[in-house]
Amino acid sequence: MSRGKRYDGEPKLNFKKVIGVIIAVAVIIMIIVSIINIVKTSNNKVEVKNYTYYTAYENGKFGIINDEGNIIIEPIYDEIISIPNNSKPIFICTYDVNDETGTYKTKAVNEKNEEILTGYDQIEAIDNFDSKQNIWYEDNILRVSKNGKYGLIDFTGKEVIPCDYDEITSLKGVKSNIIIKKAGNSGLINEKGQTIIPTQYKQILTLKEGYKNEYVIVNENNQYGLISTTSTILIEPKYEEIKYLNSSSLFAVKEAGVWKLLNTEDSQIIIDGGYDELKEAKTDGSIIIVKDGKYGVINTNKEEKIAPTYEELKYAFSIYYIAKKDGKYGIINLENQEIIPFEYTNMIYIENGGFIQADKSETETVIFDNTLSQKIIGLVSEINIEKGYIKAYVNNEYKYYNFKFEEKKSSDLLTSNTLFLSKKDGKYGYVDKSGKVVIDYIYEDATEQNLKRICSS
């Protein structure tokens, strides 16, 4: 097996970003074992179990543990073990690391620590991350190399693309989008190896983090254009910059230092300069602009709807905008009428929930529904889009609400948890799903856990 270069181009081991997460998980996992022994009950039924796997850390070594606290691979490795998909027993181990030369070796092993997916010089998980530092691996494919060239295989070892490429990386912030490079040109494929963009551009960029309807392409002259997922050129690569405006057809393009508004439906320039920046376009033709450092709204005929007088302006929903004036946030409508007073330190629209989160101070947040009525007042500690709930500290206790603002028990929402936070006589403890006390009420404060870390008293 040959030795890989640790820092060829983009780092092959994203240690800086991964290590913080893994160490945190490792500490949590150690506590999982002790807690799970308390709540685990015996079951004589024979059943096939699907496990979740975690990296474990002990005495300076790394191993693998499952969600029942069982050691799967003893902590014998000096380097962090990558788990591309924590529901599948495929683990990427790094060894024989030489920090002076920047070289290392890798191998894939199963739950028995047996080497699998052999025949390559290197085998690696493909890391990805977004601007919020959420970190993940592409969970269906692995990057492999042979004779200095890179390819992809799936978790069964089937070849996705051959080892013909100079470099393979993830398109940052977008899942299942893989950048391939060959002879100085870049292309884009999905996790099945299907071509999204042919390998003929200097660079491929996202229009917006997580967005994959269109992509920015850059040619050899560093000119920007726009391409669809069917490889149709929507905007010829001749601009200095392209910006997504939350519209399927209206895009901001920069030419000779001037921002213009282009409609891809007819390739016509609608607005040809006159503004510092174009920020956001809506289906009704309203466009947030910046002029002389102030924000306002115009339409596609350049008619002024909201004068550029605000420090910030962002579309919320319907006819409403979140505006900032004199350092405070409020809500105005398209007629520039004040709907919610400018008295909040921060304000955002949670689109997936259909409500506004407005911070009045460090200890008080107000949630407004889509009629702009106050629904929750308290210290909001979590808004979980995936599970559809809001957790807030209201009237000296933690409460849970769904996105209809109905108060719910934590057990109704956190269905995968086995422990639930409970309060009694001013102290916190943990109960199981039946309400039985598992950890006594001894803590001044605590957080909801799924067999994870417990705050100290």
Exposure letters 18-51 (e unless 16+ CB within 10 A, then b): beebbeebbeebeebeebbeeeeeeeeeeeeeeb
The mean per-residue pLDDT over the stretch 349-370 comes to: 95
Q: For residue 302, is pLDDT > 60?
A: yes
Tell me what pLDDT residue 449 has. Answer: 54
Higher per-residue confidence, 223 vs 16: 223
Number of helices (H), then strands (E), belonging to the chain: the values are 2, 43
pLDDT for 240-268, tens place per residue? 999 999 998 999 999 999 999 999 999 99
Report residue 347 CA to chain centroid gap. Answer: 21
Tell me what pLDDT residue 285 has. Answer: 87
Query: 71 φ, ψ to 5°?
Result: -75, 120
Q: For residue 410, is pLDDT > 90?
A: no
From CA 15, how far away is CA 443, in angstroms rounded?
Answer: 35
Q: Is 31 strand, coil or helix?
A: helix
Residues in the chain: 457
Give the pLDDT band (50/70/90) at residue 24. Answer: very low
Least confident of 198-212, 216-230, 275-289, 435-449: 435-449
Query: 412 φ, ψ to 5°?
Result: -75, -30
pTM of the model: 0.74
From CA 179, how far away is CA 195, in angstroms rounded?
Answer: 10
Q: For residue 357, is pLDDT > 50?
A: yes
Q: Is 44 strand, coil or helix?
A: coil
Give the pLDDT band (50/70/90) at residue 352. Answer: very high
Q: For residue 77, is pLDDT > 80?
A: yes
185-189 and 233-239 as β-strands: parallel, antiparallel, unpaired?
unpaired
Q: For residue 38, is pLDDT > 60?
A: no
Q: For residue 40, is pLDDT > 60?
A: no
Sign of CA dihedral 94, 96, 101, 106: negative
How is residue 82 annotated by DSSP? B
Tell me what pLDDT residue 437 has. Answer: 78
The mean per-residue pLDDT over the stretch 118-127 comes to: 96
The mean per-residue pLDDT over the stretch 383-410 comes to: 90
Tell me what pLDDT residue 204 has. Answer: 97
161: closest CA among 136, 134, 141?
141
